[in-house]
Structure formats: C-alpha cells, structure tokens
Amino acid sequence: MLRRTPYAGARKVGIVKMESKVVFLGRRLLNALRRLGFFPFTLLYVVINAAIRVVKLRQGHKVLRVGEVTGEAIDLPRSVMIWLDRVATGLPEPRFDISLRLPGEADDINLHDVFSVLLTSPRLRSVGLYWDSSSLADDLPLWQAKQGRNDQTVWATPYENLGSLSFKQMQEFFKGDYVGIVLPIAAARDMQTLLKRQAGGAYAACLNVPVEQRSLVAAVEAARPDVRFFDLAPYASPPAARAANSQELYGYGLSLHERMALVQAADAYVGNFDELGCASLVSGRPAVLLGGGTGAQPDRISRGDTAVWFPDPVEPTTLAKAVLQFLSRQIGPAGN
C-alpha cells in the first residue's frame, strides 16, 4: 500500500507499508464471509461441528460393505436394492458405507438406476465406485477408523457378488422385514397428483408385465373396467391393444424415483419382481410379483394376504385368474 506523506518542503516521499500474509488472508476471509452473509457465531458453530464429526469418525468403527459385479450383471438395480436392505438389517451402527466394484469393460445402461437406488437408502452414508480391484484394495484402509485398521475383526470387510441373486436371497427379501426407502418429496408429490388427475375416485393399479406375458394385461384390464391401470412396462404396446381404462407411461420419461413413487401411491402392483416390485413390498402395497425363479422352487409363494410371488412362468389363463382373485380380495370385486 502506498501512502503519501505531507509535504516536507519541495520533497515528496513515498512510504511502502507491507501487510503480513495472516492479515491479508484474514481480511480476504472476512470479505468472503461478509458476502455470503455468515455471522461469527454461525462460522464458529460450523467449525466446532466439523471438528466433532472428525473425532467421531476417527474413534467410531465404520461399517463398510463391498459389492462386486464380476461378470454380466442381471437386474443390477434390483440386486443392489435387496443387498442394501440386507446390509442395513441387524447392524450395530445406524449408518454404513458401501463400495461397488464394477467390471471395467461393462457398459450397463442401468447404471443410472443403480445410483437412484442407492439414494433411496436412509442409512447409507457414502458410496465408493471402483472399476478395478487394486484401487479398491488400496483405498479400503481409508474407509476404516484409525484404531480399526489394525483390528482384524473390522478389517475383514465382507465382499458379496451382485452379478445375480439366488432364489434363497430373493425369498428372504420377499418374506423379510424391510428397513424402508426414502424417495424425493417432489417425485412423491408429482405421482400422487398424477393419480388424482387420471384415476379420480377409482382404484389405481400399476402394471409392469414382461412382454412374453402380455396377454395377462389385456385379460386383467378387460375384467376390471372399474380400475384405472398405469402401465410401467419398459416397452411400447400397439395402440389398438390399449383399453379405455389403461394408460401407458412408456413415453412419459419418468425417472426411477418417480416410477417407485407411483407404485407406492397406487392401490396394487402387478408385474416383475424388479426394483419396482421391491418398492411395492417395502411400502406394504398389495402386489403380484412375476419371475426371478430358477425352476426348482414352489410355483406360488405368499406373504400373508398382501403379496403373492410366481417365481416361474405360469400358463396365461391360470395366471390371469389368480391375479383377478387377488385384486378382488384386496380392492373388492368388479363393479364396486
């Protein structure tokens, strides 16, 4: 800073006053905080809470689980959703961390749905994404608390293959107790508004039937004209095949969160045992789930009166009859 002194005769003297780095940085920080509207007590509160958080992370044992996709992933969003629920069950800590190791050569078009599924877990604290095992092994110590790095019981982080789920794992989820999911408020509000506008006072049911069982949709829609059906199948159907009480949502561009919210807001769900089927189970909605079996299990599995699961393909007429009977028990017979 240059400051001119008062005249001393005819001479003019320039005095250079140097500021220390501490004063300079402090002034810049105060100016920045003043622009952001920070009050001194607010800044002190943020700093203290950050320090407390660091101490807790270094003292407490962090729960870490690792999911691996070693080959071609089948229904990866569903696998991750069921895995998250299983990880969160029975943990001593309220929050946990996960790492996903994905194959480097994979080009999964459902990867964005995996991220959406991760965001629905209310107990998930952080996520690490890796595409090679060496980087994951190098970073594992950083996920552990300081004193846990030498504790073999903490260091033994379990790995689980998420490439495909066994029938036993799916059955345990179907009959288990759920931790629950949390969806964005905007998605839930928008889907409730959609149901009110399109269904009015009628019952609403979501359909998500595989293409090879498309005849089931026509049979159920024709037998229940009093129900408003919302078709969430990931493919378009011919316009001539649409019933008056059915609305296809394939071209609506709904996100996974919005589709989950629609399933949770509807009165019933009939369709694949995928991430949407999992959302119906978690929310306690009446559901008829299709697929996911291997041929070595019962033809029909029930979860009380609220859900029924057909693991293997069923003859269309028999399946349509079972679905209509289920809907009659849950929302009343046709014409009510």
CA 74 – CA 247 distance, rounded (Å): 28
CA 306 – CA 293 distance, rounded (Å): 20
Tell me the backbone φ, ψ of residue 191, rounded to 5 degrees: -70, -35
Going by pLDDT thresholds of 50, 70 and 90, the confidence category of residue 281 is very high
Going by pLDDT thresholds of 50, 70 and 90, the confidence category of residue 22 is low
**Neighbouring-strand partners of residue 4:** 14
Residue 122 predicted with pLDDT over 90? no
Residue 10 predicted with pLDDT over 60? no
Q: Tell me the pLDDT tens digit for each residue of 157-178.
A: 677 888 778 888 899 999 988 8
Q: Who's near 101: CB < 8 A, 6+ residues apart?
A: 66, 67, 68, 69, 130, 131, 132, 133, 136
Paired tokens of 72: 């071609």
Q: Which domains does the chain have, with CATH numbers?
A: 59-165 (3.40.1350), 185-331 (3.40.50.2000)
Paired tokens of 213: 């069982």
Q: Tell me the pLDDT tens digit for each residue of 217-245.
A: 999 999 999 999 999 988 887 766 678 89
1-17 b/e (C-beta count within 10 Å ≥ 16 → b) = eeeeeeeeeeeeeeeee
Residue 290 predicted with pLDDT over 90? yes
Question: What pLDDT sits at residue 266?
Answer: 95
Q: Cβ atoms within 10 A of the Cβ of 277, count?
A: 27
**Neighbouring-strand partners of residue 310:** 290
CA angle 234/162/129 to nearest 5° reads: 90
Quick one: 239 exposed, middle or buried, by C-beta within 10 A (0-12, 13-18, 19+)? Answer: exposed
DSSP 3-state assignment of 80? Answer: helix
Q: Tell me the pLDDT tens digit for each residue of 42-101.
A: 667 777 877 776 666 555 556 778 888 876 667 889 999 999 888 877 666 678 888 888
| Token pair 């949407």: residue | 276
Whether residue 265 contacts residue 188, with contact meaning beta carbons closer than 8 Å, is answered with: yes
Lowest mean pLDDT across 100-109, 120-129, 282-291: 100-109
Paired tokens of 150: 């030498």
Whether residue 281 contacts residue 177, with contact meaning beta carbons closer than 8 Å, is answered with: no
